[in-house]
Structure formats: C-alpha cells, structure tokens
C-alpha cells in the first residue's frame, strides 16, 4: 500500500495531502490587488456583511460581525478570524477589531491579543486595506 502522506491519482501522478483546505469553494481570497481596484463606497455596517460575504465567512450578531478566512486547517478551524464591532462607528467613525487564533476547543478560537484595535475607516475599501495591512485577515 502507499504511504499515508500520498494519495494515488493515476499510475505515475501522486498528490500530497495538503494541510490547508479551502472550505468554501465559491469564496475568492481577498488580496491587495482586489482592494486596490475596489470602489471607494462609504462604509455602511448593514451592507458591509453582504459585501464581505464574497471573500469571507460572516456571522452578524447585533452590531458585531465575525469575519473568518475562507481557508481552514486540517481540523476544520478557520486560519484567521476577526470580530468587528460597529457599535461606536456612527458616532466616532472607528471600528473596533479583535483578532482570534484557532484552538482545538472551539471553531472561532481564542483572542490573539487581549485588547481591541480601533481602526478609523471611511469606506469598505479602507477597512479591507487596514485589515490586510495589520495582517488581521
């Protein structure tokens, strides 16, 4: 029998098992190039979730939105997850961001840092740019 690390496809071709899996097939990975060509529409928390759905896995709970990276590790946990809090956005223009790291116990993971980052944003593009800049997603 073949080694555990390889899966035989044909007689000569072998494929190694990947550690990172794309869980959601229809979601494309957001890159700096996508952000550069994105339209600068003003940030509206109600429409942001609908817009983010094409790139990330989203969960909206009240004024908090969870964005998860479309890729997972072998255990089915998302590589990166952030919690965006829009509760103070209308008054101050700041979105509070809390990053998470995957752990074995739950799907979202534990907080990577014990504080929230406050990002001053004006548009969807601005928020994506700052999330990628700070390597949060």
Instruction: Give residue-wise pLDDT tens across range 98-113.
Output: 888 766 666 555 665 6
Instruction: Give residue-wise pLDDT tens across range 65-81.
Output: 989 888 887 777 788 88
Instruction: List the domain boundaries for the chain.
Output: 19-133
pTM (two decimals): 0.73
Chain CA centroid to CA 115, Å: 19
Separation between Cα atoms, residue 119 and residue 117, nearest integer Å: 6
Instruction: Give residue-wise pLDDT tens across range 20-51.
Output: 666 667 778 888 888 888 888 899 888 899 88
Look over the chain and give the mean of its residue pLDDT values, rounded to a whole number.
Answer: 79
C-alpha gyration radius of the chain: 18
């Amino acid at each position: 029998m073949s080694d555990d690390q390889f899966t035989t496809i044909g007689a000569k071709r072998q494929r190694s098992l990947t550690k990172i899996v794309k869980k959601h097939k229809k979601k494309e990975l957001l890159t700096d190039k996508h952000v550069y060509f994105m339209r600068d529409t003003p940030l509206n928390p109600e429409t942001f979730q609908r817009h983010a759905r094409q790139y990330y896995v989203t969960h909206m709970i009240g004024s908090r939105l969870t964005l998860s990276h479309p890729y997972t590790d072998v255990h089915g946990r998302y590589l990166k997850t952030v919690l965006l809090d829009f509760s103070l956005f209308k008054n101050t223009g700041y979105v509070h961001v809390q990053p998470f790291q995957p752990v074995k116990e739950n799907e979202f993971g534990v907080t990577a840092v014990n504080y929230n980052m406050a990002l001053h944003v004006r548009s969807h593009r601005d928020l994506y740019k700052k999330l990628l800049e700070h390597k949060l997603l």
